[in-house]
Amino acid sequence: MNFKDALEKVENSEEYKTFKSSHPEAKICAGFFIQDFLSNDSKDSIDYKDNDKIFTFNIINEEIKMYEDELMDLPNTPKLQPLLSPEIKTEVNELKEIAQDKAHEEGIGAKFNKIIAVLQTHEEEGKKSQIWNLTCMLDQLIILHMLIDCNSGEILKFQRKSFMDMVKTK
C-alpha cells in the first residue's frame, strides 16, 4: 500500500476519529512500511505523536488497529518530529526500483528480499527535510541503508553493510 492510500484509510477510520477527538494536538510523525518480497507480505502503519506518547495505526487487511506506546528517549538518537507535510511525490511502490538502481550502480546484484521504509522528518546541520529512511535486506546477507528525498526521489545517503558486520564475536 502507498503512503497516501494508508493515510487516507487511517484518517477515514472510526478508530482515528475517536483518537483525534481525545488527542486533537496529535501530529502525524511517520509512515512505516515493510515490503517482504519472499512472502509477498507487507505491513503498513501510520504513527502520530502527542507529547510523550506515540499512537500507531496498523492497517491489517481492511481493518485499522491502534496501539499506544511511550516514546523512548535514547541518547544519541534524534527526537521524533512531526512530518513537514503529508504531501509527497515519491511513493512506497517506487522505492524498490530506486534502491535496486542504486544497488546496481554500486555493483550489487543480489536479490532484494525485504525493504523497511520509514517516512520521517530528518534534520541535518539545522536543516529539516522529509525523507524515506530505507533498510534493505538482500541475498548474501547484504544490508543497504538509504535516505531518499520523498519529493525528488534523490538518494541523499547510501551505505552498504553485511549482516556479519553486526555479529559481535568474543
Give tens-digit pLDDT for 39-64. Answer: 978 899 999 999 889 999 999 888 99
Measured CA to CA in angstroms, residue 112 lies from 32, 102, 116, 130 at distances of 18, 12, 11, 24
> Stretch 105-134: mean pLDDT, rounded?
95
Indicate whether 14 pLDDT > 70: yes
**Residue 132: CA count within 13 A, CB half-sphere:** 32
Q: Which amino acid is at 40?
A: N
Instruction: Reply yes or no on whether the pLDDT at 144 is more than 60.
Output: yes
**pLDDT range class, residue 169, cuts 50, 70, 90:** low
d(CA 41, CA 22): 33
